Amino acid sequence: MSKKLNTIEAAEYLGVKRGTMEVWRSLGKGPRFSKLGTRVVYEIQDLDSFVSDRKVETCDTFNFKKGGVHA
């Protein structure tokens, strides 16, 4: 079983404020979380997936991945 992070720890891990995590939860956005009674916990793999799913390709990274020329 992976270590669970509370809201403050998860916010620090992602580099955002605790309030951002709370707003995301209230809006049904942000990374997956679990409720254990009144406690909210996050798994590191879910935080990593949340970030990874938001990667944005640029012209440079797209061309590089496709084997194009990188100027």
DSSP string covering the chain, please?
Answer: -PPEE-HHHHHHHHTS-HHHHHHHHHTT-SS--EEETTEEEEEHHHHHHHHHTT----HHHHHHHTT----
Running along the chain, 71 residues long, what does each successive block of 10 average in pLDDT?
Answer: 92 98 97 96 97 89 62 50
What local confidence, expressed as pLDDT, does residue 59 receive?
84
Q: State which CATH number among 2.60.40, 1.10.3470, 1.10.238, 1.10.1660 fits the domain covering 4-65.
A: 1.10.1660
The residues spanned by each domain of the chain are 4-65
The pLDDT value given to residue 46: 97
